[in-house]
Amino acid sequence: MIDFTLPELGENITVGDVLRVLVKAGDTLLKDQPVLELETDKATIEVPSSVAGQIKDVKVKAGDKVSVGQAILSVDESGAPAGQPAKDAKGSVAPAAQPSSTKGAAPAAAKPADGPAPSPPGNLKPEDTGEDAAAAHGPERTRDEPASEGRGAGAHGGDKVVAISRGARATTEPAAPELPVSPAAPSVRRMARELGINIDQVGGSGPHGRISVEDVKAQAKRLVAGGGGGGNDALFAGASLPDFTRWGDVERQSMKAVRRKTAQHLSAAWATIPHVTQHDIADITGLEEQRKRFAAQAEAAGGSLTITAIAAKVVATALKVFPQFNVSIDMAADELIYKKYVNIGIAVDTDRGLLVPVIRDADTKNIVQIAVELVQLSEKARTRKISLDDMQGGCFSISNLGGIGGTSFTPIVNAPEVAILGISRARMEPVYDNAGGFAPRLMLPLSLSYDHRAIDGAHGARFLRWIVEALEQPFLLAFQG
C-alpha cells in the first residue's frame, strides 16, 4: 500500500484548489490516468497518476486546497492490472528482481548514502502541454516542467530521505548535503530576486533556518517600513479585523487561486516598487477612421481590430526605440537585465479574476497578426484553457479599461517588468485647432506607470509622448520602429 502524493507541477506552483476528483475508492487506477482537476494560480491542470493499482482511499475532495507533496490517494499496488508495472508515488518502476530496493517518494537534493539521486517525475514534461484528446477529461491538460532545483527534503520541510519499497517504507539518513548558505527553495529565491532582496539577509523561520515565501515578504515589509516595525509594518502584516457580525450577517468565502495569487503578487509589487504614473492624452480621430476602415480585414483573418491590438504594436515598437523600458532589475547583483526580445502582456478580465496572457515577439508581427493572437489568447483565458507558458515571459503589460469606463487610473507594474500602460475610455472633446476655432476630436487617455528605480521621470514622459505621437501619426511606427 502506498500514497500517491501531489507531484511538482511547475516553477513557483506549490498549491492548488481541487475542482474535481476524477476517481473514487475501489477504482482500478492506470498509470498516467488523470485523478484530479486542479486550479493553480493561473491555469487549470489535470494531475495524472504515476502509480497503478486499486484505489483504497481518496484523501481529498472538491474545494480542498492541496500542496505539493500532500497525499492524494492510497493505492494497493498489488491490484495493478496486467501490463501496468507498479510504480511508486514518484513514478519509479519497481525492479522485479529487487523487490526490496528503495524508490524515492520524496526526491532529495542530496544523494542518499548508497544510491544515485532520484530523477524528476518522468510524466511531467514541458512538451506535454496541450489539450487532452478525451473530451471526458474536461479542460485543457497542462503539464509543466518541474523545477530543476530545490527538490530536496528541505524543500518539503523535512531533513530525511523517505524511500518506498514494495510493502514497506524505510527511512534512511542522506549523505551530508552541500546546502547553500541560505536554505531556500528556488521559488523563494526567485521571489527574493524579483523583489530586490538579498536572500542571505533574510531570517528563516522554518526547520533548520529554512527560508519561506512569508519570510521574504516579511523582509520586504520591513524594508518598506524603514525597519521600524511601525504602522506600515502592521498594515502589510494584516491588522486584526473587528467582529463584523456585531453589525449584521456576514459570509466568508475562500479566495480562489487566481485571486489569491493576484493579491500576493500585486501587494509585493506595490510594497517594493517605487511607482510613478505619467498621464497623457492622444488624439485618435484619424486612427479611429482607419480602424473602422480595416476592421473587416482583421475579422476575416479571425481577429478583432481593437485599440488594444493597435496599442500592443505601438508599445512593441516603442520598446525598440526606448530599450531602457525593456529591462528587469536584479538588485542583488546591482544589474539591469536588458532583454533582446519583445513580449507584450495583455490584461484579460475573466470570471476567475485578472489574467495576463503574453503575445510573444510582438515587434515582428503586424497589427492583424497581433489582433488574431489576442482573440485566441483571450478566449483561452476566459474558457480556462490558458496554459502557464501562455502567461510567462512578458516584457511590458497593457491594461485597457476603456470598455468599462473611467477617465484615468494608476496601473500597478507587473513585476519583474518595469512599466505598464493603462488605457481608459476615448471620448469626444472640443479641441482648439490651428484655424482659431474648436473642433470635435476623439481623445484617448493614457496612463503609464513605471519603476522609478530603472526609469527616470524624463524618460517616462518621452516614452509616453512617443506612444501618443505614434497613435496620432502612424507613419512614426515605420519611420523610427
CB 480 within 8 A of CB 343: no
Q: Do 311 and 193 sit in the same domain of this protein?
A: no
Residue 242 lies in a domain: no
> Whole-angstrom Cα distance, residue 348 to residue 325?
22
The dihedral through the CA atoms of 421, 426, 427, 432 has a sign that is positive
Question: 8, 76, 9, 18: which is closest to 257 by C-alpha?
Answer: 18
Q: Do 157 and 192 sit in the same domain of this protein?
A: no
pLDDT at 361: 97
Look up residue 54 and give its three cell numbers: 486499486
Q: Do 314 and 429 sit in the same domain of this protein?
A: yes
Look up residue 468 and give its three cell numbers: 501618443
Q: Do 379 and 301 sit in the same domain of this protein?
A: yes
pLDDT at 81: 65
Residue 41 lies in a domain: yes
Neighbours of 395 (CB within 10 A): 25
> Whole-angstrom Cα distance, residue 271 to residue 220?
7
Q: Do 143 and 189 sit in the same domain of this protein?
A: no
The structural domain count of the chain equals 3
Q: Do 143 and 23 sit in the same domain of this protein?
A: yes
CB 453 within 8 A of CB 273: yes
* Bridge partners (DSSP) listed for residue 421: 398, 448
Q: Which residue has the cell 490584461?
A: 347
Q: Do 187 and 316 sit in the same domain of this protein?
A: no
Last residue within a domain, chosen from 172, 200, 223: 172
> Whole-angstrom Cα distance, residue 287 to residue 477?
13
Dihedral angle over CA of 223, 227, 229, 233, nearest 10 = -10
Q: What is the CATH number of the domain that holds 192?
A: 4.10.320.10
220 CB burial (10 A radius; 0-12, 13-18, 19+): buried
Residue 324 lies in a domain: yes
Q: Do 227 and 124 sit in the same domain of this protein?
A: no
> Whole-angstrom Cα distance, residue 385 to residue 352?
12
CB 51 within 8 A of CB 86: yes
Q: Which residue has the cell 544523494?
A: 111
pLDDT at 331: 85
Determine the residue type at 209. G
Q: Do 42 and 145 sit in the same domain of this protein?
A: yes
- Write down the catalytic residue from 265, 275, 452, 459: 452
Residue 382 lies in a domain: yes
Segments forming the whole domain that contains residue 221: 180-236+258-272
Q: Do 19 and 115 sit in the same domain of this protein?
A: yes
Residue 193 lies in a domain: yes
Q: What is the CATH number of the domain that holds 355?
A: 3.30.559.10
Residue 345 lies in a domain: yes
pLDDT at 200: 80
| 452 flagged as catalytic | yes
Q: Do 303 and 385 sit in the same domain of this protein?
A: yes
Q: Read off the DSSP letter of residue 270.
A: H
Q: Do 347 and 394 sit in the same domain of this protein?
A: yes
pLDDT at 57: 92
Residue 127 lies in a domain: yes
pLDDT at 141: 37
> Whole-angstrom Cα distance, residue 222 to residue 232?
9
Residue 249 lies in a domain: no
**pLDDT tens sequence for the chain (481 residues):** 899 999 887 766 788 888 889 999 999 999 889 898 888 766 778 888 988 999 999 999 988 888 888 999 999 888 666 655 544 444 444 444 343 333 334 444 344 444 444 444 433 333 333 333 333 333 333 333 333 333 333 333 333 333 333 333 334 444 444 444 568 877 788 778 777 788 888 888 887 788 988 888 888 877 765 543 333 343 344 456 788 899 999 998 888 888 888 888 888 888 889 999 999 999 999 999 999 999 999 999 999 999 999 999 999 999 999 999 999 999 888 899 999 999 999 999 988 888 999 999 999 999 999 999 999 999 999 998 888 889 999 999 999 999 999 999 999 999 999 999 999 999 999 999 888 889 999 999 999 999 999 999 999 999 999 999 999 998 777 776 5
Q: What is the CATH number of the domain that holds 124?
A: 2.40.50.100
* Bridge partners (DSSP) listed for residue 354: 349
